[in-house]
Amino acid sequence: MNVYFDNAATTRVRDEAVDVMVRVMREEYGNPSSVHYAGRYAAAILSGARGKVAAALGADPDEVYFTSGGTESDNWAILSSAEAMRRQGKHIITSAIEHDAVISPVKRLAGEGWEVTYLQPDPAGRIPVKDFSEALRGDTVLASIMLVNNETGAVNPVYEYSSEIKKRKLNTILHTDAVQGFCKIPFSAQELGAHLVTISAHKIHGPKGTGALYIRRGVKLPQLIHGGSQESGRRAGTEALPSIAGFGEASGLAAAELNTAAEAVRKLRAHIIERLKRELPETVFIGGGDSPYIISLSIPGLQSEVLMSYLEGEGICVARSAACRKGERSRVLEAMGLSGSVLNGALRVSLSRYSTQEEAEYFVSVLVNASGRIIGFKR
């Protein structure tokens, strides 16, 4: 039996999105910037997809800018915000649990003389509002804290960070990487209060290579890519229309299914945890368990690589940490201050709307069997 429980890394593209993408590639292949009828048809598809993504995000269509994915959106948000605000201050707030797509550009800015405050997570994996508030300064021009952590599923109170900025009457630009939260937990861009929000298609059963950056109306963010007037002159390059159309379709469907899908996944997650607590009591569950889609766990005394290899041999795909780290020890879990034995045995199990009870039962059975075979727990 094959079980794919690495949906935080990527998801399978849903059939409805594939059908739309194929149609656009075969029939509506005009350039959206062209003025003839083929271009106008393509522009209408682009506009429709933008409307669907915006509606799912709780934003206006003219606040949504398509990119090549979450990484580009994060880089655009961080680097262009710094460029726009450098005359007002050079202090940045971020956290030790951010995705590398945020950490890397922030480190680049630090190398250019910017001062960076890295906030540490609490035991549940969240960034406390008190710590965020205490880090804010008059020269803090950018803050970037993710909405849902991609390794632990911890949900950060982004709205409260926004409230702290408003309370202090600061000009701080607030960015949040919401890739793991978009269409998975209830929120809207307006409710979050963030100026910039990153989302991605391939985490919600859309195609890889497509994402978007929400830029709140009035925020003057410089271009990251130059060379054309696409995306209202903010992001040059011919839009990847088939993928964007698939993103729009996936967004519309995921938004409509959000509550029912989340409830089904939440029940599946609870069942997996209950069985593991009963049959493999040595299991340590990491973090507060905020997102229903992610289970971060560890079997102390067992190496993650060995366990992953065993599970893969039985047809099961899980992860040790974020896919972009390619098997390295999790920087996020290290920041949470976990012991070496917990870190070494950590796994991320991430579910999707397509995950089934049968898969969950098989996963638990194989995991319990693996622990007995590899380290000989006696039951």
Phi, psi of 351 (to 5 degrees): -100, 170
Q: What secondary structure, in 3-state letters, does 168-211 show?
A: CCCCCEEEEECCCCCCCCCCCHHHHCCCEEEEECCCCCCCCCCE
Tokens linked to 161: 């960070």
Nearest-angstrom CA–CA distance, 264 and 274: 16
Alpha carbon of 350 to those of 176, 259, 289, 297: distances in Å? 21, 18, 12, 11
Nearest-angstrom CA–CA distance, 227 and 214: 21
171 CA to centre of own chain? 26
Please confirm, yes or no, whether 183 is among the known catalytic residues: no
How are strands ordered across the β-sheet holding 284-285?
284-285, 294-298, 346-350
What interhelical angle do 241-279 and 15-26 show, nearest 10? Answer: 160
- Give me the catalytic one of 324, 327, 339, 356: 324
Helix (H, G, I), strand (E, B) or coil at 94: strand
Q: The tokens 């991430």 sit on which residue?
A: 350
Residues that are catalytic:
324
